[in-house]
Structure 1
């Protein structure tokens, strides 16, 4: 702009000049000024170019963080192929990544900062996304994260051939020379199947880390150990024979390929071990979420979506949370069960609540298929600038997995799965994660007995839910026990302890076993079994002293100390064995 003005002025002076140009002092001064300005501009251009190079170099040094973020995004974007309810938009992921950049520990050293940022981002994204996944898919998600990071060219730890073998096994032409891989000289041992031997032959030629594998398995000094490893109940936990253990640690992908070739039925457990070794144990045991921590990620423009499963009902937990936050049900928390003809009523209540800052929970959205388009429009209206939505307003939605649920609502909301956790440990962790210290202190008449029996009752609740996965061996009929059964039973237990002198054990067993839980049971033998199981946990021995043994296989399953605070009880639950349930599943 300055150069253009000078050029125009010089041209004007030249046009108006009369006589000798050298006698025009104004023109000479303007030309000198133009020369100085040009030199200054050139200097500034060089400075700008140098600054741009410095900025680009600084930006380039942080490319590994951008690479890790892109890996994470494409993994969670592909989760939509697993379930139509797993929808995460780029805008949602960008918010997560921005939070990670701002919240992670700072460091002047770039390599240190990159390591901190990558670790923090991976962990934060995993925790944020896994709370929206069902239990059966959390292990898949953690493994995909670990494998995708290892497969990326920046790591180069997993080749395309290795990944193809993991997904599809050896190619059909891998036997003999048809694939370009010579058949090993060693003969197949009797304990190795033909298909498994063909897979080992292919791996030996395709994976450098497995050179010499077939000779060692067939006739090497460790041949007997290989057979013992192959025939063990838990090969994924057992060390590999000889020097192979050192060369193929738990974080090695070829070790996983070896398990796939010889013991494919244990591959899911091997994937869990691989994810734990690569990313950390926290990626295989995600901590249960609480509404308190989730609430901080929400806003009046962000719906909270509970993805339901059979036997799970978040209503009681939402009601308790509303009471703690000052939004009691009926006055400031409004529940509407959607169905035929409920759409207009729901829309009017949402409109009113959005103006005054109340909460609205629309239940069973999957049953109102015809109203889902209007729900999408309503959520879009609430999220617009200038919509006048009260900052305290929250919209809670519950739905079973359904392809009719609006994708835009899922992508713009905070998703939470609500299902009975898998395993006694996870079930107890979820129960005590929902409790507060006030719950443990709510029975002043018999505080020690209350805390012990509450833990024992929670353990009973976990056991009756876990028995369902064993089919007819657990219950003749699959019953949908849920959190409301535990809440009612805990309220009954508290009432009997507060209002009675000696604990009325027979009445307590009858109300809990025959009414609260037994009201769902229709088979006589199941009712008898339920009463027998309950009698072990609701008994004088469980109430009178710490350390009562709740399960026979080991001393780890004991009642938490009666004097323990809430965090101590949670720590007691975290110390319970995790692999016990896996071994039963195997």
Structure 2
């Protein structure tokens, strides 16, 4: 008998639930509890499918991006009747079919695209979180944490509304049924009159109960409105994070990752109450920035400051025109026939003309005639003293003033835009906003408190930077057993599978190195981790180079950390001191700590010059933390052998020649293959590693060439003193610190400023697009009053029916 479609036999098959963030949504949780879960990659997939078809059980197939054609007969409804049996062909076997069979296909990959032949046979249900639904989730979490009494009242109110709706629906059905059963005139039927009286009595009771809830509704509404700005901010932060994948493929964040950050901020003691927007945004920034490249962090900070400004400003739209100009200034069209005034380039005049269109800058062109303006325009750090070229009003806040400065710098000195952006963010969130990110990761706290057993830790690094040593040091520090395996061969894959299967039971740590070499295998690994129930102390570390072929689901499911040389001498020094234990620097002789500082300064100069390649170095050499570690070990070896346990070592007795030779020819010089770069490296070594550095008047950076004040050697012998000295350095540096001409970074910084604006545009465009696609989910202000209004409307209908009937 040929296959045919029979609507009477047609089952409820072919429902495809697309769940890009399914693991954090209630939809999948509900399905997981109700239905059997299987994967296409399971060995028993076909057996479980056959069993579900025979017994009519519902089936949930996860991760269907790897679609198996064996499901085609099921999705095509290829059923046939043989005698009294309904059969479906699965592979080469006929299976009895029960019409109650239901199948759901789910995926957690938001980037997957299904071919038309599959899409035409299934029904799509999108479980992607929307702005309104996330806002509601955040509001519920805040109320539960801050005002559990109000949260309980709201829950009781919703329950009552459900009961009212159910009872009124029953009354409506009862009324309609009674009217339908009437024979003859309605007014002559005593049973109808009696029934109407009963309905009136029950309707009065419902009305009374509804009125009793008015005061509760007013209280819940008032308290909810107090916390609504916080919920709005949190929703905006999540969609900002979701849009970051437009900036870099590495930035993939799940809803659960964001909710973990939000829950953490709710449990922080000093962040209770409706205030603390800045601290909560700082918490989110610190958690996210650890997994971002340095050049992208300032873009995220500016975007978060915009969210904060909307909450703190007297009006949410107060500075929106300024922000729109900041984003679109480069694409605006102006009249190019006008002649720029003296002292301004055509690009600067173009920026000033665009800026003068804003109400606050309407007199900008007139204010440029000041004689002090040209002097300011030529300074090396104009962001330090921006003149007031805007109209000062009573509503201008310090953050708004800093935003106006940012627009001035963007128009007249775009090479200082990044530096001014740091100043603007510091004004918004405080001067310590970037300090936590600049300091060394506290991996011990993060791994033990923020990372769960089924969350892989992704150690992503730029080429030439190896993060595996950090994991080894961390395991030794915490006394954990660590198994490390290099990925890249068939043996490595089998060893990795065995190590993971064993470690999830015993609670050991596993580190898989160079996993970027096997992106296809990572897809299978992520699916395996998703289905495992490991020991709570199990941890999986994956070290890799940043690679666009890394699976999206793995990035969303894991905790990502990005490792690259820190930008700026100050950040580099702080990072170095955070890596070197205080006990190591405090060992005798006392001069050891000062030598460690010299090594940290030298390492910072060598790495920071890579930013200016081919001007700083002729090429991008792979100087990294392993060089610093080797240099520290070499320093300790030579100092110990020279000091021989003495508490002091005269500067002239330090083995300078040995240190200079090893650093210049082996540790750092071993990476250099250019004679000019070798001479340059030797010159830095000769300048830094000398007995003169132990004198109080030794100068690290001389005055001049853009340096307002010379930087001298710190006067200290303890690690804490050097850390404090580095902490007090300027956040921004000039190329003169690195021995480069002061104009070396102008083009570099101009490009960075353009890139900063492009980051903001990408985030804004993607977020706006997401909101427009889900605008129908927009939450009404009176979200919990609508059911009660419907209740009152239904009661009125009952009374109107009673009036009509006499």
TM-score with structure 1 length normalisation?
0.80
Partner residue of 1:538?
689
Residue 189 (str. 1) matches residue 341 (str. 2): yes
Q: 1:82 aligns with which of 247, 255, 262?
A: 247
Partner residue of 2:667?
516
Residue 266 (str. 1) matches residue 426 (str. 2): no
Partner residue of 1:297?
450
Contact 1:365–1:372 under 8 Å retained in 2: yes
Partner residue of 2:566?
421
Q: Distance in 1 between matches of 2:667 and 2:271?
A: 53
Residue 137 (str. 1) matches residue 281 (str. 2): no
Partner residue of 1:352?
502
Q: Distance in 1 between matches of 2:331 and 2:293?
A: 31
Report how many residues are paired: 523
Partner residue of 2:274?
114
1:198-209 matched pairs, under 5 angstroms = 198-205=350-357, 207-209=358-360
Q: Distance in 2 between matches of 1:198 and 1:511?
A: 54
Per the TM alignment, residue 45 of structure 1 is displaced from its structure 2 partner at its CA by 4.9
* 1:452-484 C-alpha deviation (Å, 9 max, x unpaired): 111211211111112222324433343211111
Contact 2:334–2:354 under 8 Å retained in 1: no
Contact 1:303–1:412 under 8 Å retained in 2: yes
Q: Secondary structure at the match of 1:500?
A: helix
Q: Distance in 2 between matches of 1:135 and 1:51?
A: 50
Q: 1:93 aligns with which of 223, 233, 258?
A: 258
Q: 2:488 aligns with which of 318, 339, 363?
A: 339
Higher relative contact order (CA 8 A, sep 6+): 2
Partner residue of 1:10?
none
Contact 1:307–1:418 under 8 Å retained in 2: yes
Contact 1:456–1:559 under 8 Å retained in 2: no
Q: Distance in 2 between matches of 1:267 and 1:69?
A: 28
Q: Distance in 2 between matches of 1:547 and 1:44?
A: 84
Tell me: CA distance 1:456–1:215, structure 2 relative to 1, closer, same or farther (3 Å): closer
Q: Which moved more, 1:147-156 or 1:296-305?
A: 147-156
Q: Distance in 2 between matches of 1:403 and 1:98?
A: 31
TM-score with structure 2 length normalisation?
0.59
Contact 1:142–1:275 under 8 Å retained in 2: yes
Per the TM alignment, residue 547 of structure 1 is displaced from its structure 2 partner at its CA by 7.3
Q: Distance in 2 between matches of 1:474 and 1:192?
A: 30
Partner residue of 1:12?
none
Contact 1:361–1:396 under 8 Å retained in 2: yes
Residue 155 (str. 1) matches residue 316 (str. 2): yes
Q: Distance in 2 between matches of 1:461 and 1:138?
A: 23
Q: 1:464 aligns with which of 597, 606, 617?
A: 606
Residue 238 (str. 1) matches residue 385 (str. 2): yes
Contact 2:573–2:601 under 8 Å retained in 1: yes
Partner residue of 1:65?
230
Q: Distance in 1 between matches of 2:391 and 2:656?
A: 58
Per the TM alignment, residue 534 of structure 1 is displaced from its structure 2 partner at its CA by 2.0
Q: 2:595 aligns with which of 447, 453, 458?
A: 453
Q: Which runs of 5+ in 1 are unaligned?
A: 8-33, 108-112, 177-182
Per the TM alignment, residue 168 of structure 1 is displaced from its structure 2 partner at its CA by 4.1
Q: 1:572 aligns with which of 712, 716, 725?
A: 725
Contact 1:84–1:401 under 8 Å retained in 2: no
Per the TM alignment, residue 194 of structure 1 is displaced from its structure 2 partner at its CA by 4.8
Contact 2:463–2:546 under 8 Å retained in 1: no
Contact 2:386–2:405 under 8 Å retained in 1: no
Q: Which moved more, 1:315-324 or 1:166-175?
A: 166-175
Q: Which moved more, 1:373-382 or 1:256-265?
A: 256-265
Q: Distance in 2 between matches of 1:423 and 1:497?
A: 29
CA RMSD of aligned residues (A): 3.4
Tell me: CA distance 1:198–1:422, structure 2 relative to 1, closer, same or farther (3 Å): closer
Q: Distance in 1 between matches of 2:200 and 2:389?
A: 80
Q: Distance in 1 between matches of 2:242 and 2:585?
A: 41
Q: Secondary structure at the match of 1:114?
A: coil
Partner residue of 2:327?
166
Per the TM alignment, residue 537 of structure 1 is displaced from its structure 2 partner at its CA by 2.9
Residue 401 (str. 1) matches residue 554 (str. 2): no
1:309-328 matched pairs, under 5 angstroms = 309-327=462-480
Per the TM alignment, residue 450 of structure 1 is displaced from its structure 2 partner at its CA by 1.5
